[in-house]
Structures are given as C-alpha cells and as structure tokens.
Amino acid sequence: MNVAYERVSTVKQDERRQELSFDNYKIDKRYIDKATGKNTDRPQLNKLMVEVKKGDNIYVESISRLGRNVDDLRKLSEHFREKGVTIHFLKEGFNTDGNMYKFLLTILGAVAEMERELIVERVREGIEKAKKFGTKSGHPIGRPKRILPKEFEKYYKKWRYKKIKGVEFAKLIGVGRATLYRYINEYES
C-alpha cells in the first residue's frame, strides 16, 4: 500500500501544495497533521506508525514535513524500517532503502532543524522589536486602549458605591449595558 504523510504547522495552513507532489504516485491513503513539527506526538503520525505494514511505502513531500529534529527523524525512520516500511522523501530524492539514507537524513535533518531554530529566533526577535518600538504602523502591539466616555469616571464612582444602578449608569454615558460592562472590565484591569 502507498500512503502519503502530510503536515502543515497550523490549522489555517493548507496542505494542497504538498498534495501536488504526490500526483505521479498512486496513493491509497493519506494522513494529514495540522501541527508543529517540533515533536513527533501528532495524531495522524501516531496512527500511521501503527497502521502501516511490511511492504508499505510512505511518501513525504519533504524531510521537514516528517520532522524538524535529527533525532526524531532517525527514530521515525528506524521505526518504519523495523516494520519493513520504506519512506520516500520526494523533494530530496531519496528513500530509506539501503544505508545511504542515514547519511542524507543526518545532513538534511540538521538543515531542517537549523531552519526551524532560525524561524523561532526571528519570530522572537520580531516580537521583541515590535514590543520595544511598536508595530510598523507606529501603533503599539495589541489592542489599543478604548477611550472611555468623558463622564465615565464620575458615574463609575457613583455606581461603585451603589448610588446608581448599572442601567442608569449606561443611560447616563449613552451606551448599552453590555458595552458598559466591557468598559468597566477594561477600566478595572
């Protein structure tokens, strides 16, 4: 049986780009994870590890779709080889038949691992810069603070000391009760 394993990092991402890689192969079953590749605890990968049998072929669009960590890639490859299953890495053009795959897996796996570390580092740096300098548009990160109505504080104190009810408070500042309670939550936080 020929199976395809596909992985995208988030639920919002689309796996169709990977599907195009399998056009020249007769794929009997697909396993798709929408999860990070930083570890191997992925629902569809776990299912694939159990369901494949001796003589099956696993097609993966690229090495980074199976894993982004050399140790995880080695363990997964050994698991499948022990079951008599061959993994085909289409983009890199090799499979787990023979012994050469260990060398290629180590080199290319290290590149995938380094790529992931660089991405994480760039994201972290970007967030730090954005927090320090604000976003590209000049606005600070996060939701801007709501500007409360002019009379809010005056009536808030009366409401707090139970001199007026919430319904009156809302009418006095010209908003609905739901909006009033949102204002109160923001004001108190």
DSSP secondary structure letters along 33-87: EES-SSSS--HHHHHHHHH--TT-EEEES-HHHH-SSHHHHHHHHHHHHHTT-EE
* 16: its two tokens: 């169709």
Residue 56 has pLDDT above 70, yes or no: yes
- What's the pLDDT tens digit per position in 128-152? 887 777 665 555 566 666 688 888 8
Asked whether residue 14 falls in the same domain as residue 105, the answer is yes
Question: What proportion of the chain, given as a percentage, has pLDDT over 70?
Answer: 93
pLDDT score recorded for residue 107: 86
Q: Is the dihedral of CA 25, 31, 34, 35 positive or negative?
A: negative
User: How far is it, in rounded angstroms, from Cα 84 to Cα 69?
Assistant: 23
Spot the catalytic one: 9, 21, 64, 137: 9
pLDDT score recorded for residue 140: 58
Q: For all residues of the chain together, what is the average pLDDT?
A: 86
The residue ranking higher by pLDDT, 145 or 29, is 29
Residue 77 forms part of a structural domain: yes
Residue 122 has pLDDT above 80, yes or no: yes
The CA dihedral of 3, 99, 112, 67, to the nearest 10 degrees, is: 40
pLDDT score recorded for residue 84: 96
Residue 85 forms part of a structural domain: yes
Q: Which residues pair with 95 in a beta bridge?
A: 88
Asked whether residue 31 falls in the same domain as residue 123, the answer is yes
Asked whether residue 126 falls in the same domain as residue 164, the answer is no
CB of 175 within 8 A of CB of 187?
no
Asked whether residue 85 falls in the same domain as residue 164, the answer is no
* 167: its two tokens: 């319904």
Asked whether residue 115 falls in the same domain as residue 37, the answer is yes
- Our answer to whether residue 9 is catalytic in this structure is yes
Which of 9-23, 75-89, 130-144 is predicted least confidently? 130-144
* 141: its two tokens: 């990160």
> What does residue 161 show for φ and ψ, rounded to 5 degrees?
-90, 15
What is the span of the domain harbouring residue 176?
A: 152-188
Which of 52-61, 80-89, 149-158 is predicted least confidently? 149-158
Mean pLDDT score, 156-176: 91
Asked whether residue 40 falls in the same domain as residue 113, the answer is yes
Residue 44 has pLDDT above 90, yes or no: yes
Residue 143 forms part of a structural domain: no
Helix (H) or strand (E) holding 125: helix 100-133
Domain count, the chain: 2
Residue 164 forms part of a structural domain: yes
Categorize the per-residue pLDDT at 19 as very low, low, confident or very high, splitting at 50, 70 and 90.
Answer: confident
From the list 123, 4, 21, 10, the residue with the least C-alpha distance to 66 is 4
pLDDT score recorded for residue 135: 63
* 131: its two tokens: 């927090």
Model-level pTM?
0.63
Asked whether residue 44 falls in the same domain as residue 126, the answer is yes
Mean pLDDT score, 84-98: 93
User: How far is it, in rounded angstroms, from Cα 187 to Cα 178?
Assistant: 14
